[in-house]
Amino acid sequence: MSTPLSLEYPLVLASNSPRRKEILWQAGFDFTVLPADIDESIDASWKLENVPGILAEKKAEVLASSCNNQLILAADTIVVVDGQILNKPADKQEAIRMLQMLSGKAHEVYTGVSLVGPAGVNTQVDVAKVTFRNLLDWEIERYVKGGSSLDKAGAYGVQDFIGMVGISRLEGSFYTVMGLPIHRVYDMLSPYILDGRQSKLAF
Ligand SMILES: Cc1cn([C@H]2C[C@H](O)[C@@H](COP(=O)(O)OP(=O)(O)OP(=O)(O)O)O2)c(=O)[nH]c1=O
């Protein structure tokens, strides 16, 4: 990566997810990682599309109390099929069941992002619609056997084998599905970006 973007305050990514780290880094941000462990249980009164925003904000707030004058960024992803939330599978059997549910139809992926900084709290949710073609049993088994479905909402990674060969249509941002809607994150961070404030387009 070339020189990272300059920010007015240090940026902290409140996440355990290697994918979120990779996306934020590739977009040009320099940051430290400080995972926030919160109770991720969902209250039945919450509207489904609000869930990832509420959880992302909880993750950011939990760190913000001990990080003054810093920018705390957190995210949360849910997969929704036929009105039902699919979280991370508990084991390989559940991963197979989830992929069978997703096979041959469309579902939504909602990723919430929350930024807590000196200017206040900004929380947004981005949605993408993903369509899987009919997945063959051996393809599902091969993918799940490999082990990379277990730490992912809905038991798949858009960036993995099953996403690469099985997704026939994607409406929305690839990065929203992967766990961080970077176009939204960039927009949320832009008031704090120092680069370009005196832009002269001099090359
Ligand atoms: C649908 C999908 C999810 N995922 C991942 C993104 C998230 O890491 C994970 C959803 O779980 P989350 O609870 O959103 O995140 P996390 O527990 O992994 O990390 P943290 O809370 O510390 O930020 O699934 C993919 O990598 N690719 C995909 O296509």
Inform me whether the pLDDT recorded for 65 exceeds 90. no
**Residue the block writes with tokens 């995210």:** 75
- Residue 64, both tokens: 């913000």
Q: Whose CA is nearest to atom 16 of ligand 1?
A: 17
CATH 3.30.450.150 correct for 11-192:
no
* CA angle in degrees (0–180, nearest 5) for 93-87-121: 165
Q: What does the pLDDT look like over 173-193, one tens digit per residue?
A: 999 999 999 999 999 999 999
- The single residue of 37, 39, 76, 195 carrying the catalytic annotation is 76
Distance CA 198, CA 178 (A): 34
Distance CA 19, CA 23 (A): 6
Instruction: Report residue 2's pLDDT band, with 50, 70 and 90 as the boundaries.
Output: confident
76 catalytic? Reply is yes
Q: What does the pLDDT look like over 103-159, one tens digit per residue?
A: 999 999 999 999 999 999 999 999 999 999 999 999 999 999 999 999 999 999 999
Q: Which amino acid is at 32?
A: T
Q: Residue 196's pLDDT is what?
A: 79
Which residues line ligand 1 at a C-beta cut-off of 6 Å? 15-17, 19-20, 35, 75-77, 79, 88, 109, 151-154, 156-158, 163, 177-179
Q: Residue 197's pLDDT is what?
A: 80
For residue 86, the cross-strand partners are 79
Reported ipTM: the value is 0.88
Inform me whether the pLDDT recorded for 89 exceeds 80. yes
Task: Please give the C-alpha separations between residue 44 and each of 41, 51, 62, 85, in angstroms, as whole numbers.
Answer: 9, 10, 22, 12
Domain boundary assignment for the chain: 11-192
Task: Please give the C-alpha separations between residue 202 and each of 5, 47, 196, 199, in angstroms, as whole numbers.
Answer: 17, 49, 11, 8
Query: Phi and psi for 154 in degrees, rounded to 5?
Result: 75, 0
